[in-house]
Each structure stands twice: as structure tokens, then as C-alpha cells.
Structure 1
């Protein structure tokens, strides 16, 4: 009888000891786990932390795409628009005020039939405008304002945008004999820029500017009235910046981007609808030329082409001189290009012409006579393989002209013509600037491709600086200009 209670008491004590041992073990294990957890999430080189940070960085779609916009004094941009009556298109002194409407797109063109007698499909409203080519810098700036990767912290920016309307500004003084006046705005701009902390980071090599005029308008090499333009791009500070312009030069930091056309889609369907129209367009003429004669230029290529076109029953010539044909009206221009299989694109007052992009927009295959007109220019927007979308007829000496354009074009097999036209139609979204208030979902437009290109170029310069290589961008680059402007490589 006495043993049983003792056994019960001993058993009870053993249970207490067992539970105490379990409790101690649990606490010890918990401490070990916590210690290991602490090491895992607080050791800087731990793989889990690196994975976590990388995952967070990968979710930022703006990595390496952030752009900071300088807040320039208004005299460099908005002042010019507010005083647009002082701005002209050039020697014709046409007032620019109507063209600054709609964020630089110009007056809207409503309910026009661009296809003439072939069908009755009307273009949608809010997509076509009487756009002036010199307003590119305004259009680009308004697109930049709605860019999805803007930042107010310049230290995060991959590129710095300088929103100066430098083309509109210099246009007031290009014909002024006082060279100091021509150059004054450029000097003021670089003086303002170099005082900013953003400049000191890469001394302007991460800065870019946009011009609606050709880059040669800013590259006067000598202080002599016999030389054209301002010397803005030869200022040491400016030479570090990149310029996007409707026509580049042979200098490494000039990049050509398309002239603005009159089509500014606001959604993908606008592009699809237009492509479908021009794909099924019946074309009455084999080729066309739209432009003005240059009687003051003896034996000019343009004169020869006009002469050839007028002498052909399958060519349509639109004379843009002195208002003979209203070439400022996009409706007139589009109707001609849409009714033509090919468009002749000789150099204009400079190597390039807006007409190149108007013709592509109409599904008209461009015919080039000089490599500087397109092939050595729009590297981000046009195919590297020139034969896919265009015809090249080299003309090195107009005085020795022995080309029968009609015969050359008639000799191209029909299946090749169809393939080239389809390639041209595919180019449409790449050479138009979408409405600044919108962004296309399925297409990259001319703005998107230009910005992507300049970000890549600036990153290459940045990488060169990190590696101690020469980041200089102020000299000719054979890789950028594969084909010389002289045409010798053709």
C-alpha cells in the first residue's frame, strides 16, 4: 500500500522534468533560428538579400530610362511661342503663329478624303494637322512632358533633356548680317547650362537637345558672312551635347530623326486604319515628283528630274513654287503620293527633304539619288537594308546624266515592288509622331525610337568614361555614318 503513492509522486516529478527539458530545447532552437534569420536578412552579401533587391529593381520598368528635363528660363522656349509673330518659315516670311496650335501640331484638318476618286473613306478627326516641319522641337517637348519615366531627381536620370526651341530661335537671325546677334542665344544657353549641377556630372555628355532645323544651321565654322548659320554646335560646351535634328551632319553627336508629317495618331487603330487604306490604294502613276524648280542652280539634279518627269506619260509633277500648287496643304500632297507607285527624292535645299516621309506615309516607295538623303541619316527609323524599302539611282555628276528613270523603275519586277511597298507601309508608325497627349500601345513611333536611340548612345558614352576610354563625341564617326555624304562608297 505504501509503494503506490511513492510511484505516483515519482512519476509526477518525471513529467515535470520532461516538460522542462522540452521547453529548454524549444527556447534554444528558437534562439538558433532567430540568430540564423538575423544573419540571413542583415548580412549585406547574403544571396537572399541580393535576390530580393534584384527582384525589386527588375520591377522598375524605368531603370536606365529616366529622363530629367531642365527647367529653362522662358526666353529659350515659351517666350518664342508667345511672340510667334516674329517667327517665320524662312525667306517667304510666312507667320508661324497658326502652326503652334495643338501643342505644335498646327491647325486640325477635318473630314478630308485623302484618296480622291478611288474610294470614299474619310480620315478620322484628331489625327491630321497642317504641321510645320520647324515645330518638331515643340512637338518633341510636349511628348517629353508626358513621358512615363520622367524624374525630378536628376541624380537618377540616364539623360538630361534641354527643352530649348533653338531652331525657332535661330530662324529669326539666319539672314541677319550681324554674326554676334546670330550667336547670342546659343551663348546664353550654354552659359546657363554649365552653371547647373547636372552639367558637372558628365560635362554635358548626358544632355540632348532637339531641333526642327537641320544641324548645319548651327555649324558655322568661321566668323565670315560667306558662311551660313550660327556656331552654336561648335561651342565647346555644345559639342559635348547630342542634338536630334531633322537632318544630321557628319559629326558624331548629331542624330537625324524624321521630319514631322501631318499624321499624328492617338491610338493604334488610327495606324491600322491608315495602313489598310494605303495598302489597297490603286495607283495611277508610276512615279511622281513634288517640289519647286531651282532655276538659279545651273545643271541641278532637281532640274534634270523635273525635266524627265514632265517628259514622261507615267510621271506626275507637282510644282510647289510660288503657290502654283498648294503644297502646304497635306491633302493635296497625300493625294498625289497615294496615286503613285514611286516618289523621286533628290536632295532639297540640303541633303534631306520632308517629302521623304510624306511619301512613305502614303505607301509610296522612295527613289533616292544621294546616300545623304536617307541612308546615312535616319539610322534609328529606317531599315539598314536600303533595298527593302527604296530604290537607289546613284548620280555623282548631273552634267553626265545618262539615267532613264522610267526605264529603271519599269524594270523592277512586280513582286519586288509589292514587297517594297509592304515594307514602306510597315514603316508608317516609325516615322510619325503620335499625338503628344497619347501613347501608342503596340507601336513605337518616331519619338519612342529617337528617345531609345539617344538613351543608348548616352549610356555608351557613360560606359566609356567608366572604363577610362575617350568619351569624346565631337568628331566624325565612321560607324555612325557608314556611307559618306559624297556618295563615293556607292
Structure 2
């Protein structure tokens, strides 16, 4: 019963005449959750998620979701934020506002600890932030606390900060990373799978231009302090990174649906996702024209997918 809606969808789409052009390899869909939620590998009662992506017809489709999986036909698109401009001028005005924003805090963190996850570094980051109260601002998001339910609180926090900490939570990625970029706050990542290997159509390939990377293992060293790492960046380096972050804003937001884009440089997250996917589909069309099998590698698990970023 849990998997029947997906099966019904696939049965319907596979009967459409459009499907037979490339047997689904020119089709894509949007997943409202992280990609692994659609790849349940067991049928035990109570097992989490759907096995939608393991059905044969689904293997021929590309899924775009807020977090990709190791499979080649699962690709990541930005989490939606609360800013949906209806005119190009609103985007430009917002970017200018973020450039002028006063940022009294060196860094900030919005989130809750994960005491049940032994490998989580969140508690360490919270402790370090509280110990550096003059330079770090914490927004407590523990269960029962409502501060983080209102995006205005999160945005105000990030707009007052130079750097914003973005550790993994229940999964590798966070909506908060995109709220950070939208706020002109330089994201600090602790796992390469949180951004660099995910949003290849939307984020700068050279991650050092817009973010800071601190390996998770550093946090387990008792003497390591995040603030000592961040304070080393010069004003010029910070200004350059912030400008790159602000440059990314148009491409990570989802505009109001009726927005008319007059400036091609202000394409939104949807535009970039469709453009990237169409280019990908054209590669498979070319393979067919050349007599190659387009299924090779299309839906395979690729364990090196998240290992192709050179982290220094």
C-alpha cells in the first residue's frame, strides 16, 4: 500500500506516447524530500521511505530533490527559502541590501544538538558558540523551542553574521545553508556532501570562493576552536567571499511563478535546474544517435559520485 501511489504514477506515465521516445530518459520529476527517502531497500514493516526509485520505469527517470543520493539519476536542487521575488528589481535590491548589512557577529549557528547521533558535531559547535558569546550568536532550535519555526528569526541571525555554521543534521544537507547564502552570510561546511557534491548547477565549482570548509574530524580535537579559524581571514578575503555569496543569490531562490525575467543573468533555481537537465538529456540523445546504449551508467549507484571534489 505504501508503494502503490508510485506504481500508479509509473504505470500512467509509461503508457504515454512521450515515454516511448527515449523510454523515460528524457523525463524528470521533482522529489519533495531527500532522494534516499525514495530508495527503501527493505520491505520490513515500519521501514522508512518508499522504494519508488527501484521500480524499473523509475530507473529511466531523473529525480531532482533537495539532496541527491549516490545514484547517477538522482540530482540535487536548492532547498526553497521564504524569498520569492516577483520582479527582477526585487532581486537586485535584495542583493544591494545584503552588501550594506551590518554584521556585528563573527559567526552564528541556528540549530539543535543531535544527542542520539554519536558522530554529530552539533553539540561541540553549540558549546563553542556559547563560549564565544561576544563573537558568536546562537539560535536555539531544540524541540519545544519555537524560535526557528519563523524564518524571520533565522534570517535576522544570519544577516547579523559574517560566517554561518552549517553542520550536517538528520542528513548531510540543510535548508539553512541556502538561508545563509540568501542573507549574504558566508557558509561554513564541515562535510563535503553538504554542498560541494550536491548542487553542481547552482553553486560555484571552486567552493573556496563562497564558503569555508572545516573537516568534521577537527572538531573532535579538544584544542580546536572554530573562531580561531575564522578570525584568520582578512577583511579583503571576507569581502571577496561575501560578494561571491551575494552573486549566487539569484540562482538559489525560487521566484514567484508569474515573474517575467528580463535579465538573463537573474535566472532562478528552477531555470538553472531545467537548463542543466536539458543539457544532460541532450547527452543521452547524442549517445542514441551514435548507436550507443544510453542506459549504461544512467541509473547506477556511483560510490565515487561524492568523492570527486578536491577538499584541501
For the aligned pair, the TM-score class normalised by the smaller chain equals over 0.9
Deviation readout 1:79-135 (Å, 9 max, x if unpaired): xxxxxxxxxxxxxxxxxxxxxxxxxxxxxxxxxxxxxxxxxxxxxxxxxxxxxxxxx
By relative contact order (CA 8 Å, sep 6+), the higher-ranking structure is 2
Q: Which has the larger radius of gyration?
A: 1
Cα distance, 1:401 vs structure 2 = 5.8
Partner of 1:217: 37
Cα distance, 1:479 vs structure 2 = 8.2
The answer as to whether partners of 1:220 and 1:230 remain within 8 angstroms in 2 is: yes
Deviation readout 1:382-423 (Å, 9 max, x if unpaired): 000000000000124865565310000001111100100000
In 1, Cα distance between equivalents of 2:129 and 2:46: 35
The answer as to whether partners of 1:318 and 1:325 remain within 8 angstroms in 2 is: no
The 1:237/1:310 distance shift into structure 2, 3 A limit, reads same
Query: Unaligned stretches of 5+ in structure 2?
Result: none
Cα distance, 1:475 vs structure 2 = 1.2
Q: Runs of 4 or more off by more than 6 Å in structure 1?
A: none
Partner of 2:271: 448
Partner of 1:309: 129
Residue 352, structure 1, aligned to residue 177, structure 2: no
Instruction: Report the structure, 1 or 2, having the larger helix content.
Output: 1
Q: 2:182 aligns with which of 361, 380, 391?
A: 361
Partner of 2:227: 406
Cα distance, 1:298 vs structure 2 = 3.2
Cα distance, 1:196 vs structure 2 = 1.6
The 1:444/1:396 distance shift into structure 2, 3 A limit, reads same
Q: 2:202 aligns with which of 377, 381, 403?
A: 381
Question: TM-score if structure 1 supplies the norm length?
Answer: 0.60
In 2, Cα distance between equivalents of 1:213 and 1:242: 14
Partner of 1:339: 160
Q: How does 1:405-424 map to 2 (within 5 A)?
A: 405-424=226-245
In 1, Cα distance between equivalents of 2:219 and 2:36: 24
Give the aligned length.
Answer: 307
The answer as to whether partners of 2:193 and 2:306 remain within 8 angstroms in 1 is: no
Residue 462, structure 1, aligned to residue 285, structure 2: yes
In 2, Cα distance between equivalents of 1:397 and 1:420: 22
The answer as to whether partners of 1:338 and 1:363 remain within 8 angstroms in 2 is: yes
Deviation readout 1:131-160 (Å, 9 max, x if unpaired): xxxxxxxxxxxxxxxxxxxxxxxxxxxxxx
- Secondary structure, aligned partner of 1:321: coil
In 2, Cα distance between equivalents of 1:321 and 1:395: 22
Partner of 1:261: 81
Cα distance, 1:331 vs structure 2 = 1.3
Q: How does 1:64-463 map to 2 (within 5 A)?
A: 181-225=1-45, 227-313=47-133, 314-396=135-217, 399-400=220-221, 403-442=224-263, 443-463=266-286
In 2, Cα distance between equivalents of 1:357 and 1:213: 16
Query: Unaligned stretches of 5+ in structure 1?
Result: 1-180
Bigger mean CA deviation after superposition, 278-287 or 466-475: 466-475
Question: TM-score if structure 2 supplies the norm length?
Answer: 0.93
The answer as to whether partners of 2:114 and 2:169 remain within 8 angstroms in 1 is: no
In 2, Cα distance between equivalents of 1:355 and 1:445: 18
Cα distance, 1:439 vs structure 2 = 2.8
The 1:418/1:448 distance shift into structure 2, 3 A limit, reads same
In 2, Cα distance between equivalents of 1:208 and 1:415: 42
Cα distance, 1:297 vs structure 2 = 2.3
In 2, Cα distance between equivalents of 1:283 and 1:412: 15
The 1:217/1:358 distance shift into structure 2, 3 A limit, reads same
Cα distance, 1:222 vs structure 2 = 2.2
The answer as to whether partners of 1:381 and 1:431 remain within 8 angstroms in 2 is: yes
In 1, Cα distance between equivalents of 2:216 and 2:96: 35
